[in-house]
Structure 1
Amino acid sequence: MPISAPEPLLEVAGLCSGYGKIAVLHGIDLRIGVGEVVSLLGPNGAGKTTLLRAISGLLPLSSGRVRFGEVELAGTDPRVAVRQGLVHVIEGHRVFTQISVTDNLLLAGYDLPRRERMQRVEEALEYFPEIAAKRQDKGGALSGGQQQMLAVAQGLVQRPRLLMLDEPSAGLSPVLVDRVLGVVRALKARGTAVLLVEQLIEKALAVSDRVCAMAQGQLVLEARADEDDLPHRLERAYFGQDVPTALHG
């Protein structure tokens, strides 16, 4: 049986999705509790990014349900998810290069009163001193790593209840990787849940409560992040020796 999560915040059941006629996800069941950090691991092409896109409403479901808090998200506009506090930071540096760092963050809170937006911008910048010092610089003047931090900060402006991060360490130096994952720890301490897609397995496990592994569009393993034999179980799951019905931990 899957490991139970405290105070369920996100509940995904029987989720199937893909791109047009190409089915990618096959009956995903996933639960994340309030304030819980869950790492979603798996080889390239396993369906991790597709799952995040389906949860946030960027991809339609062919079947299944996504419940966030008291709201059913399946079939709704992605803005509904954001208003409920589910924020998805898409893989890659999705920032506006021709406007300032501050204006990038103000746009992330476009639906808030201006005074509230400014307060949220300052809160987000507290996590990233490197970009706070460049708040008047254009997004395009930032390094790739700084743009990645800005993308995460854009998500924080929404004060998410659940932040989904799709490979936030991609292209970052080791120092900046630690900075971004330090933000995950800080968010957890404040009661924010995080669903983290990450290739740096050891670093991901260090900030996580649980880990879920995907292969070929299915969840093939769920475990506590501190299990002693987890690396071996992950290797077995990736190479198809574990199956979804064999979850334990």
Structure 2
Amino acid sequence: MPISVGEPLLAVAGLRSGYGKIAVLHGIDLAIAAGEVVALLGPNGAGKTTLLRAISGLLPVNGGTVRFGGADMAGADPRTAARAGLVHVIEGHRVFTQISVTDNLLLAGYDLPRRERMARIEEALEYFPEIAAKRADKGGALSGGQQQMLAVAQGLVQRPKLLMLDEPSAGLSPVLVDRVLGVVRELRSKGTAVLLVEQLIEKALAVSDRVYAMAQGQVVLEAGAQEADLPHRLERAYFGQDVPTALHG
């Protein structure tokens, strides 16, 4: 989906951020249109998670701008970002293990009227029949893959305009990876934008419209997800043309 017509849903320009005095991001430019799926790729330590955290308000913006839906989001906290429709599903299984699946989802929509919350919970569970069948079970009784699905469902309860997923396939079996990435495809078909950080490059590209690649805190490549010879171009962008690496899995 082109981003040149009108203002993009998310527009990041010259973004600098990091942890205390440790600078990680060195002037990131990135844009996502409404309803577009963008893959964010790069080797470990490239700054991908830091970028998501800075966009969602978990880390301070030390320079540059973050605009979402035309509004300035630099300095906004995660709650403000989520209310605007910018929802970040953090890497790892961030679920409450001692309460039920339903209660986990109720907490995700805590600031909504109860009737609205229940409607959104049912809406989110439609994507994940595996956990819908376990709605009365405690979060800790779910498998790791099911907990990851629950974490994504928590994000969907907030009915995001942009859902940022940080390595949703981490630790999942191939079948569950396909289920989670299938949800990304469904979200796109319904007009929800997704920013997807993923190590499984071929699978990420298969559900994406465009791709940004990062290395050492900078964007080193921007391309259409289906452009010819993209895996080889990614290798060159990450490591230089003479470094062979298996980026095709």
Report the TM-score when normalising by structure 1.
Answer: 0.94
Query: 2:198 is matched with which residue?
Result: 198
Query: 1:40 is matched with which residue?
Result: 40
Query: 2:92 is matched with which residue?
Result: 92
Alignment of 1:1-249 (within 5 A): 4=3, 7=6, 8-240=8-240
Pairwise CA RMSD: 1.0
CA distance in structure 2 between the aligned counterparts of 1:4 and 1:116, rounded to whole angstroms:
32
CA distance in structure 1 between the aligned counterparts of 2:57 and 2:169, rounded to whole angstroms:
23
SS of the residue aligned with 2:164? strand
Q: CA deviation at 1:5?
A: 5.1
Q: CA deviation at 1:229?
A: 1.1
Structure 2 gaps, min length 5: 242-249
SS of the residue aligned with 1:61? coil
Instruction: Give the letter aligned to residue 230 of structure 1.
Output: L
CA distance in structure 2 between the aligned counterparts of 1:114 and 1:201, rounded to whole angstroms:
40
Displacement over 6 Å in runs of 4+: none
Query: 2:244 is matched with which residue?
Result: none
CA distance in structure 2 between the aligned counterparts of 1:132 and 1:5, rounded to whole angstroms:
39
Q: CA deviation at 1:42?
A: 0.2
Instruction: Give the letter aligned to residue 181 of structure 1.
Output: L
Identical residues among aligned pairs (%): 85
Per-residue CA shift, 1:88-123, capped at 9, x if unaligned?
000000000000000000000000000000000000
CA distance in structure 1 between the aligned counterparts of 2:71 and 2:182, rounded to whole angstroms:
30
Q: CA deviation at 1:79?
A: 1.1
Q: CA deviation at 1:234?
A: 0.2
Instruction: Give the letter aligned to residue 141 of structure 1.
Output: A
CA gap of 1:39–1:6, structure 2 versus 1, over 3 A, is farther
Whether the 8 Å contact between 1:5 and 1:32 is mirrored in structure 2 is no
Whether the 8 Å contact between 1:6 and 1:34 is mirrored in structure 2 is no
Instruction: Give the letter aligned to residue 89 of structure 2.
Output: V
Q: CA deviation at 1:70?
A: 2.2
SS of the residue aligned with 1:49? helix
Instruction: Give the letter aligned to residue 26 of structure 1.
Output: H
Q: CA deviation at 1:77?
A: 1.8
CA distance in structure 2 between the aligned counterparts of 1:76 and 1:114, rounded to whole angstroms:
26
Q: CA deviation at 1:6?
A: 5.1
CA distance in structure 1 between the aligned counterparts of 2:5 and 2:129, rounded to whole angstroms:
33
CA distance in structure 2 between the aligned counterparts of 1:108 and 1:155, rounded to whole angstroms:
7
Count of equivalent residues: 239
Instruction: Give the letter aligned to residue 209 of structure 1.
Output: D
CA distance in structure 2 between the aligned counterparts of 1:11 and 1:51, rounded to whole angstroms:
13
Instruction: Give the letter aligned to residue 59 of structure 2.
Output: L
Per-residue CA shift, 1:22-80, capped at 9, x if unaligned?
00000000000010000000000000000000000000011111000021110122211
CA gap of 1:220–1:164, structure 2 versus 1, over 3 A, is same
